Amino acid sequence: MGTAYTPGLKISSGTIINKTRRLPLKGQVLVKVGDKVESGTIVARTEIPGVMQTIRVAEILGLEPPDALAALNIKQGDKVEAGQVMAMTKSFFGLLKSECKSPYNGTVELITSATGHVGVRLKPLPVEVDAYIKGTISEVIPDEGVVVQTYGALVQGIFGVGGERTGKIVVPTHSISDALTEDIINESHAGQVLIGGAGVTLGALKKAASIGVNGIVVGAIVDTDLIEYLGHDIGVAITGQEDIPTTLILTEGFGSIQMAERTYKLLKSLEGRTVSINGATQIRAGVIRPEVVASLDEPANSGESESSSQSLETGSTVRIIREPYFGALGTVTKLPPELVEVESGAVVRVLEAELGDGKIVSVPRANVEIIET
Amino acid sequence: MTQINSILATDCGSTTTKAILIEKQGDEYRLVVRGEAPTTVEAPFDDVTVGVVNAVREVEELAGRRILDENNHIITPIQSDGSGVDIYLSTSSAGGGLQMTVAGVVKAMSAESAERAALGAGAIIIDVIAVDDGRKDFEKVKRIRELRPDMILMSGGTDGGTVKHLVELSEMLVSADPRPRLGIGMNIPVIYAGNKDAREPVAEVLDKRVDLRVVDNLRPTLDRENLDPAREAIHELFLQHVMQQAPGYSKLSDWVSSGIMSTPNAVGKIIQTVAEQFDINVLAADIGGATTDVFSVFGGIYNRTVSANLGMSYSICNVLAEAKTTGIGRWVPFDFDEARLRNSLRNKMIRPTTIPQTLRDLRVEQAVSREALRLAFEHHKTLARSLKGVQSVRTMADSIDQQETGQTLVDMMSLDMIIGSGGVLSHAPRRVEAAYMMLDAYQPEGVTVLAVDSIFMMPQLGVLSVVHPEAAAQVFERDCLIKLGHVIAPVGRIKPGELACTVTIGNDVYEVPFGTLKLVPIPAGESIDAVIKPARKLDVGEGRGRERKCKIEGGVVGLIIDCRGRPMVLPEDHSARIAKLIEWHKALGLEN
C-alpha cells in the first residue's frame, strides 16, 4: 500500500467556501441567487410560534369544566388582550359576580372540555439568519435558507467554544511559540480577533472577555483554564452555544502546543482584514470544526477541492497527535504495507516519519494528521 | 421459508458501515467475511447506501464473488451463476440513532415505564418530562421547546385513572409546539400510551397539532407493565418517519428483505435470544466512542439502558467529569501527572480515531473504560428494576422473589454471563485485558462466564434473529461470541492473605489467599467439574462458607479466581494501591 488516507484540517490561503444558512423552521428567504451579501446581511426570516399559556378558567371560577366552558365569552381563534374578561359567572340572583381575565395578549388556541382550561398563544418570536460571511448567494433553499459562497482564506481549528462573530485580525504575538498573555492585550483590541502562538493564559482570556475582544485563535489551552473561563466542564464535544463574550479557537489541541507555522503565517498575512469566526465544534457524524473565514477579492480558484481527506504519501508532512511524540511534526519516509505490533500490543498499520531533529519514528497511521503544504 | 444459504447483513453506524456475509456450510451457518467502509449520511454524499455499497464491495472482494449488480444494487435472491445473496438485512444508528422524549404523569411510575419502553426499543432519551418532576410548568415547556426529538412517547394513568393530568400534559405539549429533528415543516410524531379513558380528551387537544398515534396503555394497572405495544409503535414510526427522512434510507428500505432495525434494538434482540435459548441471566455492554449501552436479562425480564454521554472518545471527557481524575487514576498502575492526564483525554475527545501507541497510554485508556462501564452499569441498575409500590408481574408473573418493591433486578450472584462489546473490549490487544476491565467494572459474584463480541456483529445477528433465528444463533455461538473464561469471585471480606477459597479441578487444587487474583489456563471448548470451597465468611452462591460444585468452561483467557473481595476495595494509600495493581496485573500475565 503506497498511500493511505487520513483526515486533516483545511488550512488554505485561497479556496471556494460555501456556507449553508438555514432557518430552524420554514420561513421567508430574503435574498436571491447572485445577490452580494455582507456577513451581517439578513438572508432569511421566520417566526417561531409563541408559547401557549394555559389559563385554568374552571379552577379560577370554582366551576366544573362544562360549567366553565359555558361561562366563556371567547372562542377558539379570538384575539385577547391582557385584562380582558374571558369568562364570567353570576350567582345569588346576579348579585355576586366572578370573572376570569386573560393575563396575556395573544390568540385563543385551545379550549379543553375535559379540564376547562383555555390556551392563549403569545405573539410569535421573530428569528433571523444572517449571511455570516461576505459573499454571493449561490443557492436558495426554498422557505429554508441559502448557500453563501465566497472565495477566501479558510483556517479550520481542532476545537473551539463560542458562536459566530466577526472582527479584524490582530496579531499581537511575534512567533508560534509566543503565548497570548494578559499584558499584551489592551483596550484597542475590543471587537477584534486576536491571534496567539502556543497558547493563551487564563488571565488573558478573562481580560479579553472583559474588554470585549470578539475572538482568540491560538494553538492550545490547558484544559483547567478553559473550564474556569467557561464556568463549567465540557463533557461532550458539542460546542458553539456557550454564553461567552469571546469565541476561542484552538488550532492544535490541549496542553502546551505551538500553532503550526503555516497556520500562523496565514493568519498573520490576514492581519487587518475582517474575518468571520465560529467556535462551534461537533466531533461525530457530521463533523463540525471551528473556523476562521476571510473573504478575499481575488478571483475564485475553482480547481481547489473542499475535501478534508488527503492522501498520505511518502514525503507528506504530518503532525503526530498521540503520545509518545504528541505535537511533533515530521515527514513521512515509509508506509510499510504490513501490520506491525506497537508497544501497546495493538497490531496496526504504521508509518515511519523523520522528525525535525532527524530522528526516525514509527507511529500508527491513525495517530497522525496531514499538514497541507 | 425457502432454503436460505447466503445472508448479507449491514450495520450503518455513526461513523462506519459494517457488512457481514453468512453462508450455510454443510449443516451450519458461519460467518464468511466482513467488510467495512465509512458511513455516508453526511455531505458530500448524503446517502447511506453509498457507504453500504462500499462495505459490500469489500465483502465481494474478500469473498471472491459478486453480490452487487451493475447498478450497485444488491442481487437477491442468489442467482444460478452464484452471484447475489438470498436475503439482505440492515440495522442503523447513523445520524444519531433514534432520539426520543418521554412524558408521563408520575416520574417514578408511568414516566419510568415509558422510559423503559423507549430504551428497549433502541432509543436515546433526551429528556423525561413528568408532572411531578420538580420543574415548574414554564420550565418544562421551555425544555420541550428546545428539544428536537424524533418522536415523543406519552404515558400516564392506569386505565380508569387520571384523565386531567394527561390532558394537562397534552396542553403542555401544545404550548411548547415541539418540532421533530428531521423533516422541517412536519408535525412531530407523538405516541400516546396512557390511560385509555383519556384517549379522547387527549386527542381533542393534540389532534392535528402533532402526528398522534394511540396504543394500549403501557401501565394499564399499577401492578402491570405492558411495554410491547408502545415499543412496536416506536419501531414502526422509526421505520416510517425517522428512516424515511434520513438521507438515502428510503432507498435502503427498498433493498432490505425485512425492515431496517435500530442498532441497539437489534443488539437487544440477540441478547434476549441468547438468554432464552440457554435459559441464563445475561448482562451485556457495548461501549462506543459516544455512548455505552447496557443490556440485561434477569429472570426473563429484558432491560436496556443507554448512557448517552459515557464513551471512549467523543464523550471521554464526560467520563472524566463524572469519575474525576481520582476515579480514573485509581485503576492506573503507575504514577501520573494529573494535568497531563486531563489534557491527553481532551485530546482524545477532539481526535477520536487515535489509538494508544504506548503501554502506559493503553493502561490509561483501559482505566477510563473501567469507569465508563461502571457508571453505565450503575445507571442501568437504577432503571432495570421491579415496578415501584407494587408486587411486580411485569412479563413473568412472580418470577422474582422481591424483598422490597422498586428494587433493581440486577442480581450479580445469579448472573451467568457477561458479554462485552465495543472497540476497547473487542479490540483490546490481549483478551485477558478485556476480561480484567469487565472484572473491575462489574465485579461479578459467585461463578460467571466472561465473553466478548469478536468483531461487533451483534447488531446484524440481532436483525437476523428475527428473520432466521437458527442462523443467528449458530453464527453468534461459533463466530461472534468469544468466551474468555469463567470467573470465580467469593462475596464478602476477610483479612488480606487469609485463605479465601480452594478450587479443586480434577487432581489440581488451587488455594487462593484473600486480596489476590489467580489465573488458571483452561483451553476453550473444555468443560470440567470444579468444587469451590470458600472461607467461612465468604459466599460463592451457596451461602457463607458453603461448598459449590459446578461446571467450569474453558476460554481464551482461562479461569480467573478473583479473591479481591466483594465489594472490592482498593488500598487508599497511593503506593500500596499501585503495588496491588501491579501484583494483579502480574497475576494475569500483564505488563505495566
Mean pLDDT, residues A54-64: 92
User: Percent of chain B scored above 70 by pLDDT?
Assistant: 95
Classify residue B407 by burial, with Cβ atoms within 10 Å: 0-12, 13-18, 19+.
Answer: middle
The residue type at A252: E
- C-beta of residue A300 within 8 angstroms of C-beta of residue A151: yes
Quickly list H helices, chain A: 57-61, 65-71, 202-211, 223-230, 261-269
Q: What is the per-residue pLDDT across B24-41, written as a single tens digit (0 to 9) for each?
A: 999 999 999 999 888 887
pLDDT, tens digit, 9 for 90 and up, residues A235-255: 877 888 899 999 999 999 999
| Whether pLDDT at B526 is above 60 | yes
- Rounded to whole angstroms, how far apart are CA atoms B336 and B364? 9
Q: How far apart are the first and last CA of chain A?
A: 22
Question: What's the rounded Cα separation, in Å, for the pair B50 and B110?
Answer: 42
Q: How many CB atoms lie within 10 A of CB B526?
A: 11
Q: Does B356 touch chain A (CB under 8 A)?
A: yes
Helix (H) or strand (E) holding B235, with range, is helix B228-237
- Rounded CA-CA distance B344/B336 in Å is 12
* Residue B47 CB neighbours (<10 A): 18
CB within 8 A of B326, min separation 6: which ones? none
* Those residues with Cβ within 8 angstroms of residue B418's Cβ, 6 or more apart along the chain or in another chain: B282, B283, B284, B285, B438, B442, B444, B448, B449, B450, B451
Q: How far is A363 from chain B (nearest CA, A)?
A: 7
Contact B177 A49 (CB under 8 A): yes
Q: How many helices (H) and strands (E) does chain B have?
A: 17, 22
pLDDT confidence of residue B21: 97
Q: Which of A25, A254, A350 to mutate to test the interface with B (most CBs of B within 10 A)?
A: A254
- Asked if residue A218 lies in contact with residue A179, where contact means CB atoms within 8 angstroms, the answer is yes
The C-alpha cell at B499 is 485463605
Q: Identify the residue whose cell numbers are 488550512.
A: A11
What's chain B's average pLDDT?
90
C-beta of residue B434 within 8 angstroms of C-beta of residue B452: yes
Q: What is the pLDDT of residue B399?
A: 42
Q: What was the pLDDT predicted at B544?
A: 96
Question: To probe the interface with B, which of A121, A241, A256, A283 has the most B CB atoms within 10 Å?
Answer: A283
Q: What is the pLDDT of residue B389?
A: 53
Any B CB within 8 A of A272 CB: no
CA–CA gap between residue A179 and residue A202 (Å, rounded): 11
Q: Is the pTM of this model over 0.90?
A: no
* Closest chain B residue by Cα to residue A8: B351
Cell numbers that stand for B529 in this block: 467439574
Ranges of beta strands (E only) in B109-231 are: 123-130, 151-154, 189-192, 211-214
Of the candidates B413, B432, B423, B405, the residue with the CA atom closest to the CA atom of residue B368? B423
> Does residue B396 carry a pLDDT above 80?
no
- Residues in chain A with CB shorter than 8 Å from the CB of B313 are 283
A232 CB near a chain B CB, below 8 Å?
A: no
Is residue B314 over pLDDT 80?
Answer: yes
CA distances from A103 to A73, B93, B379, B406 (A): 15, 46, 43, 43
Q: Do B340 and A119 touch (CB under 8 A)?
A: no
- Peptide bond connecting B352 to the previous residue in cis, omega within 30 degrees of 0: no
Distance CA B385, CA B116 (A): 10
Q: B77: cis peptide before it, omega within 30°? A: yes
Interval B412-460: pLDDT, tens: 999 999 999 988 998 899 999 999 999 999 999 999 999 999 888 999 9
The residues with which B511 forms a beta bridge, in sequence order, are B502
CA B309, A233, A281, A31 dihedral sign is positive
On the CB side of A293, how many CA atoms lie within 13 Å of its CA? Answer: 27
CA dist B477 and B29 (Å) reads: 10
A51 touches chain B (CB under 8 A): yes
The amino acid occupying position B286 is D
Residue A368's H or E segment, with its range, is strand A368-370
Question: What residues are paired with B385 via a beta bridge?
Answer: B408
Whole-number percent of chain B with pLDDT over 90: 67
pLDDT at B453: 92
B342 Cα to chain A: minimum distance (Å): 7
> Which pLDDT tens digit goes with each residue over B540-560?
999 999 999 999 999 999 999
Given 3-state DSSP classes, what are the helix, strand and coil percentages for chain A, each rounded to the nearest 5? Answer: 15, 45, 45
Residue A372 has pLDDT above 80, yes or no: no
Element containing residue B205 per DSSP (H, E): helix B199-206
pLDDT attached to residue B411? 95
The pLDDT-based confidence of B222 (bands split at 50, 70, 90) is confident
Closest-CA distance of chain B to residue A278, Å: 16
Query: Percent of chain A, pLDDT > 90?
Result: 70
C-alpha cell at B7: 445472508
CB A15 within 8 A of CB A303: no
Q: Name residue B112's amino acid.
A: E
Question: Could you write out the three-class secondary structure of B315-382?
Answer: CHHHHHHHHHHHHHHCCCCCCCCHHHHHHHHHHHHHCCCCCCCCHHHHHHHHHHHHHHHHHHHHHHHH
Instruction: State the pLDDT at residue A8.
Output: 65
Interchain pair B358, A344: CB under 8 A: yes
Inter-CA distances, A179 with A192, A197, A202, A343, B197, Å = 17, 5, 11, 34, 67
Which among A88, A82, A65, A70 has a CA at the least distance from the CA of A120?
A82
Give how far B232 is from chain A: nearest CA, Å. 27
Which range is least confidently modeled, A259-263, B85-89, B320-324, B415-419?
Answer: A259-263
Q: Do B175 and A223 touch (CB under 8 A)?
A: no
Q: Give the pLDDT confidence score for residue A7 in this predicted structure.
A: 54
Contact between B15 and A326 using a beta-carbon 8 Å cutoff:
no
Q: Are the C-beta atoms of B404 and B436 separated by less than 8 Å?
A: no
Among residues B258, B270, B278, B279, the alpha carbon closest in space to that of B304 is found at B270
Q: Which amino acid is at B384?
A: A
Surface of B (117-176) touching A: CB under 8 A = 137-138, 141-142, 145, 163-164, 167-168, 171-172, 174-176
Residue whose C-alpha cell is 457463607: B544
Q: Find the mean pLDDT for residues A226-233.
A: 92
Q: Is the pLDDT assigned to residue B496 strictly greater than 70?
A: yes
List chain B residues with CB under 8 Å of A233. Answer: 317, 321
Where residue A181 falls among pLDDT bands split at 50, 70, 90? very high
Inter-chain contact B317–A283, Cβ cutoff 8 Å?
no
- What does DSSP assign to residue B213? E
> Looking at this protein, which amino acid is placed at residue A28?
Q
Q: C-alpha grid cell for residue B131?
A: 408532572
Name chain A contacts of B185, Cβ cutoff 8 Å: 25-26, 143
Give the per-residue pLDDT at B142: 84
Say if residues A292 and A280 touch (Cβ distance below 8 Å).
no
In degrees rounded to 5, what are phi and psi of residue A311? -80, 130
For residue A187, what is its C-alpha cell? 483596550
Which pLDDT value is given to residue B392?
45
pLDDT, chain A, mean: 89
A206, A183 contact by CB (below 8 A)? no
ipTM here? 0.85
Terminus-to-terminus CA distance in chain B, angstroms? 54
> How would residue A298 be classed by pLDDT, with cut points 50, 70 and 90?
low
CB proximity A110 to B under 8 Å: yes
Comparison of pLDDT for A300 and B7, the residue scoring more: B7
Which three three-digit cell numbers place residue A323? Answer: 503520545
A348 and B355: CB-CB below 8 Å? Answer: yes
Residue A324 preceded by cis peptide, ω within 30: yes
Which residues lie closer than 8 Å to A81 by C-beta, 6 or more apart?
Answer: A102, A105
Q: Do residues B17 and B39 make contact, with C-beta atoms less than 8 angstroms apart?
A: yes
Cα separation, A291 vs B169, in Å, equals 42
Q: Which of A152, A356, A159 is nearest to A267 (CA)?
A: A152
Distance of CA A151 to the CA centre of its chain: 21
CB B486 within 8 A of CB B548: no
Q: Taking the CA atoms of chain A, what radius of gyration do you get in angstroms?
A: 29
Q: Would the pLDDT of A285 be above 60?
A: no
Q: Which of A24, A158, A347 sits opposite B350 (nearest CB)?
A: A158
Q: What is the distance between the alpha carbons of residues B78 and B82, in angstroms, rounded to a whole number? A: 6
Q: Categorise residue B177: left if φ over 0, alpha if ψ from -120 to 50, beta otherwise.
A: left
What per-residue confidence (pLDDT) applies to B402?
39
Contact A319, A312 (CB under 8 A): no
CA distances (Å), origin B169, targets A54, A188, A327:
11, 53, 53
Residue pairs between chains A and B whose CB atoms are closer than 8 Å = 181
Amino acid at B473: A
Residue B303: φ, ψ to 5°: -140, 145
- Cα B574 to Cα B577: distance, rounded to the nearest angstrom: 5
C-alpha cell recorded at residue A228 = 474556569
CB contact under 8 A, B351 and A253: yes
Cell numbers found for residue A48: 417561531
